[in-house]
Structure 1
Amino acid sequence: MVDLSTSIAGVHLPNLLFNASGVCCQTTDDLKQMQDSASGSLITKSATCAQREGNPSPRYVPLPTGSINSMGLPNEGYQYYLDYAKSYDYSSPKPLFISLSGLSLAENKTMCEAFVAAKLPCVLEINFSCPNVPGKPQLGYDMEAMEAALNTLAPILRQPFGIKLPPYFDIAHFDAAAAIFNKFDDLAYVTCINSVGNGLAIDFETETALIKPKDGFGGLGGFMVLNTALANVNAFHRRLPTKKVIGVGGVTSGKEVFLHVLAGASAVQIGTTLKEEGPAVFARILKELEEIMEKKGYTSLEDFRGKVKTL
């Protein structure tokens, strides 16, 4: 038997898999499916202060090698997820992660203050990979604004928390972001990556964009982003020696989970494949991962985590 347990932000997960925020997590019914699944944890939909309908449909379309989406942060508003967190059964072996994605720093401050005041044992994750101020890049691409946000939020949280990151494509950006993250002791982990932004999928027959928002531009996910995800996981694993990395992107089977751990991930989230297959995907992929580890002679994740060889 192999041990698939792990820990993030000081909490124990019976296994390393859970949903990527944005999939199977918007309503209590969605979250009940996650609770009933074989996942090791669950995370809520990224919340804004007010409820949002999100962008017009079609806003998500599966592709032969993944998916494209421009959801527009549909969510029930942070009070909905705060109420859920208050009612959550914390005797469950699955820890609860709460994703917050304010449309401004003030929104994030308000939401963090509300969750801290509730004194709940859930883990907060701030999403820095959604558009923030109109006309500005995602917060994760604005190093000064990201550091300013952490300078504001970390003293409010005063507990282990995480941040969700967009994909970075330049070594200098890995270095700059890591230098910021290493300044904050309570920043316990980073989750990478969010979708690869602003792809365009076109129907060959109709010569039309496949999704409606943003003239068809949307985030790419699924298998096609695996290698970008692995690079980001490994880059931050190397640069954040006292923090952990949650890998997300490109997981269709146990093999990709194994690669994420090999690159340095302590836990792995599933998005597009969960959206397409439903929560039964966790049992399948855990079984595949166990078989891979047994075949390779590994008995725990620590046996190979971060141990990718280079030429």
Structure 2
Amino acid sequence: MPTSATPDLGTEFLERPLANPLMNAAGVWCTLAAQLDALADSEAAAIVTKSCTLVRRDGNPEPRYRALPLGSINSMGLPNEGYLYYLDYAAHHDYDHKPLFVSVSGLSLDDNLTIVAALRDVVLPALLEINLSCPNVPGKAQPGYDFEAMDELLAEVATAYRRPFGVKLPPYFDFAHFDTVAQILNRYEHLAFITCINSVGNALIIDTGQESAVIRPKDGFGGLGGDYVLPTALANVNAFHRRCPTKTIIGCGGVRTGEHVFQHLLAGATLVQVGTALYEEGPGIFQRLARELAELMAHKGYRRIDEFRGRLKTL
């Protein structure tokens, strides 16, 4: 139990108490059962699977990920084991230990509805997340940037699933888009949480010495992550925290230190996901982030997260 000098990192997600606000980002350390097991054994308080498709995918050709001085660029192409693999994992997961999110990213509306129906019918306490932001599949547009398609998909999922679920969003860069997307999300009572953001899509990193792109797929265009995207992630977290007061926000993007976790929480996140830094450091990162967050909270005189969460000051 925390002492008077040790802040309590506990939080609550959809009425479930959690030891801390930390979890992995979908796509990182979560493709195979052994990786998910490593997360279960880590200090992460929750786990999300790799975004799954109807059938197994190898993904895009290598090299498709490159670490950069301030983050990473990737064009993975949804490599995953197919939804049945993750449903089987979910069926054997210890939910008393920590919650499990199943991320779904079907390549069509029908694919998504098939996977959603399967998850609904197995009656597991797993949490459904619909990934509306897959910028790195050649020839596939992001539903998150097609507002009509997004609304249609959410209407179908809400009708078919009839249980609380969430969405993962791409980054938005315009107040009009924040407003429009929030209006769509707020229509659906069962849409309980919003994860933002996915990587900033279609960046291009150039190796000056080689005069070349640094990844192979899509002529070098890929999703940007890490420190590069922290300000954009914080803006999206805060924008949807303000516009969707009945939804729980999960922050994702640019988290490498306990201070970054603190900033996501201050902006309005309840849980905070780690992507690029987890990829580079491994599941041990969660212990370090929890320690750094506790140290920062103690320095600021906060004993609980709820004392500052969502209380970002403006000038």
Same fold (TM over 0.5): yes
> Could you tell me which residue of structure 2 aligns to residue 82 of structure 1?
87
> Could you tell me which residue of structure 1 aligns to residue 11 of structure 2?
6
Cα distance in 2, alignment partners of residues 123 and 257 from structure 1: 22
Matches within 5 A, 1:154-193: 154-193=158-197
Cα distance in 2, alignment partners of residues 79 and 11 from structure 1: 26
Q: Is the 8 A contact 2:53 2:107 kept in 1?
A: yes
- Is residue 216 from structure 1 mapped to residue 217 from structure 2 by the alignment? no
Matches within 5 A, 1:21-170: 21-92=26-97, 94-130=98-134, 137-170=141-174
- Is residue 298 from structure 1 mapped to residue 295 from structure 2 by the alignment? no
| Aligned partner letter, 1:3 | D
What secondary structure, in the 3-state scheme, does the structure 1 residue paired with 2:261 have?
helix
Structure 1 residues 95 and 249: CA distance shift in structure 2, 3 A: same
Q: Is the 8 A contact 1:103 1:133 kept in 2?
A: no
Corresponding residue pairs, total: 310
Cα distance in 2, alignment partners of residues 132 and 110 from structure 1: 22
Deviation at 1:9?
3.3
Deviation at 1:157?
1.4
With normalisation by structure 1, the TM-score equals 0.97
Cα distance in 2, alignment partners of residues 95 and 168 from structure 1: 28
Matches within 5 A, 1:235-274: 235-274=239-278
Structure 1 residues 24 and 296: CA distance shift in structure 2, 3 A: same
Structure 1 residues 216 and 18: CA distance shift in structure 2, 3 A: same
Identity among equivalent positions (%) equals 59
Where does the alignment leave 5 or more consecutive residues of structure 2 unmatched?
1-5
| Aligned partner letter, 2:73 | I
- Is residue 20 from structure 1 mapped to residue 25 from structure 2 by the alignment? yes
With normalisation by structure 2, the TM-score equals 0.96
Q: Is the 8 A contact 2:77 2:136 kept in 1?
A: no
> Could you tell me which residue of structure 1 aligns to residue 288 of structure 2?
284
Instruction: Kindly report structure 1 stretches of 4+ aligned residues shifted beyond 4 Å.
Output: 131-136
Cα distance in 1, alignment partners of residues 240 and 139 from structure 2: 28
